[in-house]
Structure 1
């Protein structure tokens, strides 16, 4: 599930929570947690606020995995994603557990930090309601930290002494080539199958990943205001060679299901055979996110609402406009560069960070 509503203050009562559990508490790997309230839900997943025995609060993601569904492989991939990165700008997993239910299904629990300040979308919504905006320098500083988190994913490097074995992709178009042992050997993580696919890896040991669902609702704010990328359910190895029409359609369908439309890169709407999907999908989403940070709406939602045009058509054609001249051209140039329709002409994350530094120098 997407954690779009991860920490929205929804009016669910305590009784709503206990309907999903035999009791208002549960154990994860011998540690007890008391369920406080439901924070959000979607599809087969729920997120709860829970309290540990030491009174510390956490967010608990519960994923129901009926027999025969692909929920379990997806949940396993998400768990593995949390283990890959170690950076303050990317959320860390505290614990996880898989429970075999009596009906043959499985339930996956993922324990995550609880961010009292909520996510960036909450701040954007507050700005919209209060008719306020980010100061440009403050927005640039925040965007710089978000970009630094993305850079950790795009420039991921495996420690030669880690014992990790790199292998080429085989049948799975979105296979992450797990960097940790599967939690359940009898349930390998498989996402849409394709007749063939290759993951292109650089010769310097960098094995890039893409988040693939970057948006303000997936960026939490720590108590000190540090942006933290979350919801790694869509995170996957980057640089996928699309070698067949079947594979292109599977990747396109996967993106339609897992990548939020208003922040989705145009190349994911019509995946081309003999193309490469790479980190550029995140660069596009970064541009949309920075626009939303400044103008309280994604650029193409704003364009669609003003013109009545199709949202997907506006994205594919890269049609958007800046509402006013309140922000500098340097800031707008960053957004224009990120929202280049042809992914080959988009800047990489290092160039984006360089542009942000350049814009900050004017203050």
Structure 2
């Protein structure tokens, strides 16, 4: 099956900025309201449908060199990630609504992804609390944390069927090493992308995926109050075997570009050859996120603010401080943070264990 199996073709005008007032996707016109953000070759706009005036987000990605562009390959991978977890029906992972690829006259490509619009992120909530010298109640923190864990559980426990594995082998046989799509997969690794994500109906194999950029800004809050994991551009197969120094340096460079430093696991700061990177990188990031929900900043940002510490050095040493009297939170909640922020990834809990621990603490808190 062609890699673009999930992409809907349509006519869409190019809009590098707000000079174009609207965009049409599958005969539905969306009015551009404002630019929400930009970075690199991508732009995110708030738009409203002419049909019902409902708000949406449109992400535009420019690919100056067409199909040979790294931004193009990463965009296709991001689109596949939006569809990969749909079969699980989880409300905790964002799903795209439509995707369109446009071949521009100059040979470049433009990719447009229509997404749900969320009014606020977890980072917005934390920022507001910091500004008002307030803090989030423990039961609310646990509710958000449990939802994030449920989303990550889907990623970390992802399974592929034997049909998908055969499809992957076929793809690999016809794909050169220079055409790898896996973001955060260094050249020469075995972790190429798999095929379409059919519902498992036969013998399946566990192939965990990791988000790789868990942070409050990548957790949106839905209208129902549920946390939703967004920005799946960094999501990839979790387990990467590092065989040589070149692969280690390549992975470090990719992590530097795509994994936010204050939430980045130490094994991605200094990648060691003959090692394996796993989904435990997300567990470290979860610990940083939980700390930020409690105290306003990542533990390593807080150390930098209060003591002028070097963030990279503090992360590599696993050095952070819990405020006096736990900041008013339970010792059990602080223990979850400490469990996640173990320098040795093997000593961090699995997402299943972490979810069970959080659920048990939530039940105790509600008694």
Q: Flag whether TM exceeds 0.5 (same fold).
A: yes
Higher percent of residues as helix: 2
Secondary structure at 2:206 match in 1: coil
The answer to whether the aligner puts 1:113 opposite 2:116 as a matched pair is yes
Distance in 1 between residues matched to 2:170 and 2:357, nearest whole Å: 34
192-201 or 325-334, larger mean C-alpha shift: 192-201
Distance in 2 between residues matched to 1:320 and 1:169, nearest whole Å: 45
Choose the corresponding residue for 2:104, options 97, 101, 105: 101
Secondary structure at 1:223 match in 2: coil
Distance in 2 between residues matched to 1:72 and 1:193, nearest whole Å: 16
Distance in 2 between residues matched to 1:107 and 1:339, nearest whole Å: 40
Choose the corresponding residue for 2:362, options 357, 360, 363: 360
CA contact under 8 A between 1:169 and 1:197: conserved in structure 2? no
Secondary structure at 2:332 match in 1: helix
CA contact under 8 A between 2:304 and 2:311: conserved in structure 1? yes
**Correspondences of 1:195-344 after superposition (within 5 Å):** 196-199=188-191, 205-325=205-325, 326-344=328-346
Unaligned runs of 5+ in 2: 1-13, 195-202
Q: How many residues align?
A: 331
Distance in 2 between residues matched to 1:270 and 1:311, nearest whole Å: 14
Distance in 2 between residues matched to 1:131 and 1:352, nearest whole Å: 29
305-314 or 162-171, larger mean C-alpha shift: 162-171
Distance in 2 between residues matched to 1:138 and 1:34, nearest whole Å: 35
CA offsets, 1:236-281, max 9 Å, x none? Answer: 0011111111111111110000000000000001111111110000
What's the offset of the Cα at 1:213? 0.2
CA offsets, 1:186-209, max 9 Å, x none? Answer: x873657755223499x9522210
Unaligned runs of 5+ in 1: 1-16, 176-186
21-30 or 288-297, larger mean C-alpha shift: 21-30
Distance in 1 between residues matched to 2:321 and 2:259, nearest whole Å: 23
What's the offset of the Cα at 1:36? 1.1
TM-score, normalising length: structure 1: 0.85
What's the offset of the Cα at 1:131? 1.4
Judging changes above 3 Å, is the alpha-carbon distance between structure 1 residues 18 and 244 closer, same or farther for their aligned structure 2 residues? closer
What's the offset of the Cα at 1:91? 0.2
157-166 or 206-215, larger mean C-alpha shift: 157-166
CA contact under 8 A between 2:184 and 2:236: conserved in structure 1? no
TM-score, normalising length: structure 2: 0.84
Q: Which residue of 1 aligns with 2:199?
A: none
Distance in 2 between residues matched to 1:21 and 1:79, nearest whole Å: 24
> Which runs of structure 1 show a deviation greater than 6 angstroms over 4 or more consecutive aligned residues?
160-164, 168-171
CA contact under 8 A between 1:62 and 1:107: conserved in structure 2? yes
CA offsets, 1:24-65, max 9 Å, x none? Answer: 112224332111111111121111011112122110001111
Q: Which residue of 1 aligns with 2:150?
A: 148
Cα-Cα RMSD: 2.6
Q: Which residue of 2 aligns with 1:189?
A: 181
Q: Which residue of 2 aligns with 1:32?
A: 29
Secondary structure at 2:334 match in 1: helix
The answer to whether the aligner puts 1:88 opposite 2:91 as a matched pair is yes
